[in-house]
Amino acid sequence: MLLHSSTKHPFPLAILLSLNAYAQSIKQPIGRLSAGEGWLEAYLRFSGNQDHCLVVPSNKDASWFHEKACKFNAKANTHAFHLAQWGQAANKSGAFLLPGPGIDEWAWKRMPWGDGQASLIGLVHTLCSRNVQWGLGQFMSSPVRNWDALICTSHASRSVVEGFLNRQEYWYRKRFDAKKFERPQLPIIPLGVHPEVWAPPENDLAKARTKSREELRIPQDALVVLLAGRLDALTKNHPGASFKMLGELQQRFSKLRVLIYGEAPNEIQHDLWEKGIEVAAPGLPVHWIPGSERKWSAAVRWAADIFLSLSDNPQETFGITPLEAMAASLPCVVSDWDGYRDTVIQPNESSQPCGFRIATSFVEGLGKQQAHKMLQQCINYDQAVGQISQGIAIDIPSLRKNLIQLLEEESLRKSMGQNGRARILEKYSWKIIISQWQELIQELASIRNHAINQGSNLAPQMPSWLPSTDESFEPFVSEKLDMNRRLYWSGELQGLTSARREELIRNRLLEPLEGWSSDGVGSSIEAMANDPQKLPARAKGWLIKQGWLQK
């Protein structure tokens, strides 16, 4: 399966593929992996590629991808390159997709092939980790070009990225009097869903709701509020205040029930949620469905009346669960936060609203202490964002008002649900989003080709901070020999036939201290024995070390 090909692709893209970026864990669902899984299926279904170009850490990853690709096209071909040859794969396709935002690091890795041969495409997921923020801070000093791209999934996430770049450019201006900076493209391309996955059988939502409630043992006349996603008070949201409010509403709406479909990252978080809800809303009926039981993923949405997601954490940048709810024709009540601000449209913004966004706020100075601790690496990521989340507030009176309106007005729930479904079909279907990716790749190729024609691309070279040893460590050595300097056989190899020299070299390389890494030394023993002048520097040096060559 590890083949090399120059096949032209309708969707010219080489993919850095690792299972920990595209394979969702059933026991531990994570939004980033859910998005990766959805994107990969969309690529296989809608890209038009029959031949797929991959860069993989192992054959296992290539085999996994190939099996998946054949489910969508029995004639699929997988051309996989190992990591060391990633530049060749990128050059053949002209674009190279990373599963994260780290194009600064890969821009350095691209230099041996030249920066005009391929565009790097990164993707924003979480922006608040120390590593990601560090990486964004290196864009100014790394060879990132304007024919590269960092895809932002929302307007809010792009504004955050631009803020990081602005601050770092200001630092370079003040510290080094820098005048010129180059940024990658920062297109906004959202994540998506496959709408057909969430559509009820025969498009009969009423029938699907009745059946789902029977299977989940939820009363048919209940008013069901659904929460779906990762149950983590540290890296997702703090549910305490909202559950207190739901508990109060249950006094007014006796048929109100909460359906929780999700998975906690560990037992501690599961117990925290379970016990916390008991204290916050002791009389509120709660139905728990494990998120690992994916067979219920659509049914829990059909069984619900309202979808509720109040993200209040900087770890969240887009949020795919509202899209899934909208695709299932559920009205959404979400926090006015990150990507939710793009996806859920309110009555004052459109004649076809699909839900309500609840205002959020935080106080100036939030996160300063955690940033200091993260800089010193004396706090872990989960603790840092969890502490920050405690200081991000949801407007509870607005939440109560909007929930009451939806709970009281069945017609509003129905119309918002229908509008949400229509919005998904128009803007957030993966088929539509993949076409936006294709347009981006074409745009980057145009920018890159123009730069090549203008001669503004860099020739293949090593980074200035990682040259060859003969250049960087010349001060260590007594003498650096010119590569073309004439060398002569000496010692026991002097005067021997090439066959006898080959035998002695081969035997020496069998010794443990000499042959432990023969790659580049003994890879062509015959050549070593015949003409040492044509050997690479390492092999020549080894022969000199043995006393078999002399100046």
The answer on pLDDT for 25 being more than 80 is: no
Instruction: Quote the percentage of the chain above a pLDDT of 70.
Output: 96
The answer on pLDDT for 40 being more than 80 is: yes
Q: CA 163, CA 315: separation in Å to the nearest integer?
A: 16
In the chain, the N- to C-terminal Cα span, in Å, equals: 47
Q: Which helix (H) or strand (E) holds 95?
A: strand 95-97
> pLDDT digit string (tens) for 215-243?
999 999 999 999 999 899 898 888 888 89
pLDDT of residue 1: 38
> pLDDT digit string (tens) for 260-282?
999 998 999 999 999 999 999 99
Report the relative pairing of strands 488-489 and 549-550 from DSSP bridges: antiparallel
Are 515 and 371 members of one domain?
no
Domain range holding 277?
195-428
Q: Give residue for tokens 């015959």.
A: 526
CB 144 within 8 A of CB 117: no
Total structural domains within the chain: 3
Q: What is the model's pTM?
A: 0.91
CATH number of the domain bearing residue 39: 3.40.50
Are 526 and 499 members of one domain?
yes
Q: Read off the tokens for 372.
A: 């200091």
CB 188 within 8 A of CB 440: no
Residue 5 forms part of a structural domain = no
Could you write out the DSSP letters of every residue in 117-150? Answer: S-EEEEE-S---SHHHHHHHHTTTTS---TT-EE
Are 200 and 339 members of one domain?
yes
Lowest mean pLDDT across 217-221, 511-515, 542-546 = 511-515
Average pLDDT over residues 98-126: 95
> pLDDT digit string (tens) for 172-199?
999 999 999 999 999 999 999 999 999 9
Average pLDDT over residues 334-346: 96
The answer on pLDDT for 378 being more than 70 is: yes
> pLDDT digit string (tens) for 473-483?
999 999 999 98
Residue 464 forms part of a structural domain = no
The answer on pLDDT for 2 being more than 50 is: no
Q: Which residues pair with 225 in a beta bridge?
A: 258, 306
pLDDT of residue 3: 38
Residue 9 forms part of a structural domain = no
Are 255 and 367 members of one domain?
yes
Are 176 and 230 members of one domain?
no
Are 149 and 298 members of one domain?
no
Instruction: Quote the percentage of the chain above a pLDDT of 90.
Output: 80
3-state SS of the chain: helix, strand, coil percent to 5?
Answer: 50, 15, 40
CB atoms within 10 A of CB 147: 25
Are 74 and 119 members of one domain?
yes
Are 420 and 477 members of one domain?
no
